[in-house]
C-alpha cells in the first residue's frame, strides 16, 4: 500500500478543494445523524411508555413538540455555555401530538434534502480532485517514460509501458475515488449513525463494537489475497496485450507464413494464464460478502438476546432499543460497502506497484539543467577506447573503438551484420551509454554537457522512417517549431519531396495515416530527409537513409544529401556502393572492432573483408 499512498498524495495539490469535499461529507453525515435522532420523539409520541400502577396499566402523558423543546431548554440552561432555542420559535411549535409528528417529519425531510445536496456536492468536488490528480500522474508518468534511456524502452515491452501509463493510472483513479468519495461518504454516515446509537443506549452499541474487529480481520485477510492475485493478473494482461499487438503489427507476415494457428495458440496460452490468476482472486472476492453478512447477522442475534434481558428487567426502554437497532442498521448498511471499497483500493494498490516500478527507473543521464550547454560543433568528433555491451547480450557490440572524424568530413561505416555500425552512430546523440571510453565533440566529453544541447545539433535519417499521425506539415516541423513556409518549401524541394506533395489536394496540410501508411515507402523517406534538412544540424547521421528510395530517386536524393552535408560532419551507414564510394573515408568494422579505414580504392587493394562486402553486400557493386 505504500506506493498507493505515495500517488494518493498527489490529491493534496488541490488540498483546499479536497477539504471542501470532505467538509461537505461531514455535513451530509451530520444530517443523517440528526435525522435518526429525530425518530426518538416520533416513537415516544406514537409508542407511549406504559407503567403498572396497582392493577391498572397506565400510559405516560404524550407530550407535544412545544413541551419537548421547553424541556430541552431547561436542560440546556444547566450547560456552562448558554444555548437556548429562542422563545419566539418555541411559541410557534405545535402542542398537539399528531401535528408535532407531522412537523418533525417535515423538518426531517427538509434536513434530508440539505444532506443529499451536500452529498452531491461532495461527490462532484471529490471526483474533480481525483480526475485532476490522475491527469497529473499520467502526464508525469509519460514525461518520465520520454526521459528514460532508449535501451530501457526498446529492450523492454513498449506496449506494457503504454499500459502502465494509461491503464494503471485509470485504476489508480478508481482507487482514489473509492478513498475520498465512496469511503469518506460511507464512513461518515456509518459513524454518524453509530454516535446516535451510543447516545441512546451505549451498552448495546459497545457489545456490537466488540464483535466488529472480527469483520475487519476477515476483510483484511481476503483483501490481501485479492491484491496479490490481481497484481499477477495485471502482469498477465500486459503480456496478453503485447502478444496481440505483436501479432497484429506483423499480420502481413503472419498471413504469408500461414502462422495464424501458431499465433492463436500463443494468445490462448497467455489468456489462460490471465484467467488462472483471476480465478485465484475469485474465491476471496466471492467469500467477502457472505462472511460479512454472517458476522452482521451474528451481531444482531447477540444484541437481541442482550436487549431482551434488559427490557424484561426494565433496565432498557424498548423505544430506545428500536432507535438503536435502526441506527446500528444504518451504520452497518453504510459500512458494509467498505468491503468492496477496500477491494477497489487493493486493486489500485496493485496498479500503483506497477506504475511505481516504471516511475522509479532512472532517467537517462545528461538531463540535469545544471549541466552547461554544448556549443555548436565546429572541430571534430572522436571516439576514445569505446566499449559497449547491450543488456543481456552474450558478447560486446563495440570493443576498444577509437576514431576521429574532422568537422565537415563524410565517413561511411561498413561491415557484416552485427559488426557495430549502427551502435557506434547511436553513441553520438547518447542514445546508448558507454560501458567505458569517451565520445568527444570538439575535444569535449559529451557526458559533461546537457543532452538536449547535444541533440539539438544532430539530424538523423534511419532506415525505419517514423511518421506521426497528423499532417505532412506537422511531421516536417516536428522538433523544429517556428519554421516559416519559405523554409518548409525549401526543405521539401531539397529533399525532392515537393514533386509528390504538390500533387496532393491539400499539399502540406494533407493528413497522413497511422505510421504514415497513406504514403509510399519512398515518400516517407523523403519526408524524413526534409525534416532533417529543416532542422539544420551540425552533425548528420544517415543510417540506411536511402534504403526505401527507388533507383530513379536515389541519384536525386544523393545529390541533395551531398549538397546538404557540405560543412556538416556526416556519419553514414549505407548499403549502396555509390554512397560508400563518395564518402571521404570508409571505416570497416567486424565483430565490434575497426579493422581498417581508408578510401574505396585503398580498401579494395588491401582489405579482404571490404572486398567481400563490396562484392556481396553493397548494392550496385556489379
pLDDT in the model for residue 488? 87
Q: According to the model, what pLDDT value does residue 211 have?
A: 63
- 162 belongs to a structural domain: yes
Which residues have CB under 8 Å from 279's CB, separation 6+? none
Q: Which position has the grid cell 477491494?
A: 343
Strands 569-573 and 410-414: parallel
End-to-end CA distance of the chain: 67
Task: Report yes or no on 210 lying in a domain.
Answer: yes
Q: What pLDDT shows up at residue 155?
A: 62
Q: Around 92, how many Cα atoms within 13 Å sit in the side-chain half-sphere? A: 6
326-354 pLDDT per residue, tens: 777 777 677 667 767 777 888 888 888 88
**Domain holding 306: CATH number?**
1.20.1560.10
Q: Which of 441, 386, 428 is nearest to 573 (CA)?
A: 428
Three-class secondary structure assignment of 40-101: HHHHHHHCCCEEEECCEEEECCCCCHHHHHHHHHHHHCCCCCCCCCCHHHHHHCCCCHHHHH
CA distances from 183 to 188, 476, 480 (A): 8, 50, 49
The residue ranges of the chain whose pLDDT is under 50 are 52, 58, 621-622
Q: Identify the three-state secondary structure at position 223.
A: helix
Domain count, the chain: 1
SS3 414: strand
Q: What is the pLDDT of residue 620?
A: 58
Q: Is 396 contained in some domain? A: no
Any domain includes 244: yes
For 136, counting Cβ atoms within 10 Å of its Cβ (0-12 exposed, 13-18 middle, 19+ buried), the class is: middle
Q: Give a yes or no: residue 184 inside a domain.
A: yes
- What whole-number distance in Å separates Cα of residue 444 and Cα of residue 425? 17
pLDDT at position 54 is: 52
Q: In what order do the strands lie in the sheet with 436-441?
A: 398-406, 380-388, 436-441, 444-445
The answer to whether residue 166 sits within a structural domain is: yes
Asked whether 172 and 355 are in contact (CB, 8 A), the reply is yes
95 in Cβ contact with 45 (< 8 Å): no
Give dist(CA 361, CA 358) in Å, integer. Answer: 6
CB atoms within 10 A of CB 273: 17
Place of cell 560486446: 396
Is 437 contained in some domain?
Answer: no
Is 219 within a domain? yes
Question: Which residues are bridge partners to 439 per DSSP?
Answer: 383
3-class state of residue 536 by DSSP: coil
* Residue 211 belongs to domain spanning: 2-359
- Burial class from Cβ neighbours inside 10 Å (0-12, 13-18, 19+) for residue 361 reads middle
The β-bridge partners of 512 are: 470
DSSP assignment letter at 467: -
pLDDT confidence of residue 260: 77
pLDDT, position 440: 94
Radius of gyration of the chain (CA): 38
Residue 349 · residue 4 · CB < 8 Å? yes
Task: Report d(CA 231, CA 448) in Å as an integer.
Answer: 41
Contact at 8 Å (CB) between 433 and 149? yes
User: Pairing state of beta strands 569-573 and 470-471?
Assistant: unpaired
pLDDT digits (tens, 9 = 90+) for 347-406: 888 888 888 888 888 888 878 788 899 999 999 999 999 999 987 788 999 999 999 999
For residue 476, the model assigns a pLDDT of 82
Amino acid at each position: 500500500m505504500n506506493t498507493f499512498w505515495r500517488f494518493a498524495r498527489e490529491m493534496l495539490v488541490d488540498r483546499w478543494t479536497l477539504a471542501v469535499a470532505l467538509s461537505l461529507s461531514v455535513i451530509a453525515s451530520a444530517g443523517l445523524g440528526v435525522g435518526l435522532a429525530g425518530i426518538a420523539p416520533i416513537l415516544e409520541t406514537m409508542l407511549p411508555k406504559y407503567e403498572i400502577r396497582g392493577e391498572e396499566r397506565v400510559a405516560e402523558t404524550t407530550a407535544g413538540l412545544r413541551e419537548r423543546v421547553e424541556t430541552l431548554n431547561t436542560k440546556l440552561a444547566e450547560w456552562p455555555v448558554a444555548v437556548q432555542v429562542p422563545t419566539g420559535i418555541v411559541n410557534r411549535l405545535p402542542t398537539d401530538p399528531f401535528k408535532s409528528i407531522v412537523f418533525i417529519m417535515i423538518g426531517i425531510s427538509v434536513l434530508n434534502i440539505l444532506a443529499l445536496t451536500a452529498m452531491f456536492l461532495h461527490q462532484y468536488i471529490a471526483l474533480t480532485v481525483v480526475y485532476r490528480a490522475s491527469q497529473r500522474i499520467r502526464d508525469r508518468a509519460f514525461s518520465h517514460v520520454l526521459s528514460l534511456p532508449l535501451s530501457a524502452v526498446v529492450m523492454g515491452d513498449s506496449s506494457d509501458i503504454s499500459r502502465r501509463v494509461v491503464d494503471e493510472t485509470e485504476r489508480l483513479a478508481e482507487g482514489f475515488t473509492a478513498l475520498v468519495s465512496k469511503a469518506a461518504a460511507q464512513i461518515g454516515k456509518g459513524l454518524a449513525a453509530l454516535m446516535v446509537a451510543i447516545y441512546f443506549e451505549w451498552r448495546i452499541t459497545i457489545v456490537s463494537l466488540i464483535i466488529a474487529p472480527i469483520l475487519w480481520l476477515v476483510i483484511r485477510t481476503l483483501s490481501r489475497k485479492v491484491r496479490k492475485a490481481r497484481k499477477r493478473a495485471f502482469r498477465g494482461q500486459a503480456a496478453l496485450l503485447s502478444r496481440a499487438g505483436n501479432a497484429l503489427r506483423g499480420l502481413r507476415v503472419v498471413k504469408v507464413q500461414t502462422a495464424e494457428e501458431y499465433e492463436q495458440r500463443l494468445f490462448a496460452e497467455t489468456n489462460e494464464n490471465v484467467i488462472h490468476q483471476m480465478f485465484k482472486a475469485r474465491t476471496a472476492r466471492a467469500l467477502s460478502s457472505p462472511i460479512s453478512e454472517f458476522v452482521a447477522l451474528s451481531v444482531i442475534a447477540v444484541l437481541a438476546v442482550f436487549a431482551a434481558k434488559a427490557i424484561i428487567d426494565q433496565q432498557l426502554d424498548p423505544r430506545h432499543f428500536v432507535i438503536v437497532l435502526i441506527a446500528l442498521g444504518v451504520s452497518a448498511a453504510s459500512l458494509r460497502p467498505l468491503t468492496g471499497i477496500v477491494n477497489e483500493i487493493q486493486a489500485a494498490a496493485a496498479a500503483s506497484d506497477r506504475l511505481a516500478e516504471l516511475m522509479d527507473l532512472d532517467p537517462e543521464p545528461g538531463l540535469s539543467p545544471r549541466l552547461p550547454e554544448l556549443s555548436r560543433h565546429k572541430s571534430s568528433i572522436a571516439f576514445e577506447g569505446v566499449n559497449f555491451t547491450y543488456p543481456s547480450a552474450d558478447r560486446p557490440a563495440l570493443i576498444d573503438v577509437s576514431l576521429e572524424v574532422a568537422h565537415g568530413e563524410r565517413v561511411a561505416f561498413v561491415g557484416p551484420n552485427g559488426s557495430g555500425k549502427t551502435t557506434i552512430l547511436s553513441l553520438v546523440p547518447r542514445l546508448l551509454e558507454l560501458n567505458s571510453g569517451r565520445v568527444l565533440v570538439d575535444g569535449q566529453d559529451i557526458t559533461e554537457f546537457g543532452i538536449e544541447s547535444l541533440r539539438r545539433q544532430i539530424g538523423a535519417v534511419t532506415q525505419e522512417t517514423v511518421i506521426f499521425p497528423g499532417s505532412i506539415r506537422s511531421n516536417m516541423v516536428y522538433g523544429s517549431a517556428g519554421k516559416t513556409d519559405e523554409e518548409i518549401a525549401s526543405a521539401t524541394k531539397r529533399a525532392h519531396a515537393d514533386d509528390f506533395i504538390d500533387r496532393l489536394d491539400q499539399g502540406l496540410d494533407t493528413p497522413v495515416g497511422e505510421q504514415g501508411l497513406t504514403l509510399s515507402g519512398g515518400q516517407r523517406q523523403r519526408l524524413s530527409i526534409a525534416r532533417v534538412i529543416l532542422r539544420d544540424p551540425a552533425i548528420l547521421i544517415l543510417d540506411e537513409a536511402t534504403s526505401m528510395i527507388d533507383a530513379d530517386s536515389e541519384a536525386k536524393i544523393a545529390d541533395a544529401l551531398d549538397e546538404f552535408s557540405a560543412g556538416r560532419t556526416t556519419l553514414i551507414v549505407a548499403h549502396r556502393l555509390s554512397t560508400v564510394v563518395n564518402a571521404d573515408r570508409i571505416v570497416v568494422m567486424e565483430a565490434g572492432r575497426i579493422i581498417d579505414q581508408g578510401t574505396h580504392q585503398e580498401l579494395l587493394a588491401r582489405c579482404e573483408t571490404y572486398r567481400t562486402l563490396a562484392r556481396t553486400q553493397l548494392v550496385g557493386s556489379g
